[in-house]
């Protein structure tokens, strides 16, 4: 199950998505560390399709988990810009 959070502030549409089972985990890979904190990533349950629709309108996006691969297949995220921490995909997007 995916968790989706949408924040609208100062002209930005920030979309935050993660796999529910990653919530509360800390992912490490070399010098990189990502804390999947509930305060940031906690959102409402949503389908893959709903998350992809939300990403279409995002000016900023932060994605962790299975949604990254769906977003790459949909052409929203460039697969070359995806990093993996403990084999979990993570990507960010910014539209100017």
Distance separating alpha carbons of residues 14 and 50, to the nearest angstrom: 15
Q: Give SS3 for 14.
A: strand
CATH number, span 2-94:
3.30.1860.10
pLDDT of residue 96: 84
pLDDT of residue 28: 96
pLDDT of residue 88: 98
Distance separating alpha carbons of residues 60 and 20, to the nearest angstrom: 20
Q: What is each CA distance from 48 to 30, 39, 41, in whole angstroms?
A: 30, 22, 16
User: How is the chain split into domains, by residue range?
Assistant: 2-94
State pLDDT tens for residues 76-88: 999 999 999 999 9
CB 88 within 8 A of CB 43: no
Q: Flag residues of the chain having pLDDT under 70.
A: none
């Amino acid at each position: 199950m995916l968790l989706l959070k949408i924040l609208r502030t100062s002209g930005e549409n920030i979309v935050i998505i993660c796999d529910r089972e990653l919530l509360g985990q800390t992912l490490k890979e070399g010098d990189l560390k990502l804390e999947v904190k509930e305060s940031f990533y906690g959102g409402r349950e949503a389908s893959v399709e709903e998350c992809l629709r939300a990403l279409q309108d995002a000016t900023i996006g932060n994605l962790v988990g299975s949604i990254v691969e769906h977003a790459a297949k949909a052409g929203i995220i460039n697969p070359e810009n995806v990093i993996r921490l403990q084999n979990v995909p993570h990507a960010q997007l910014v539209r100017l």
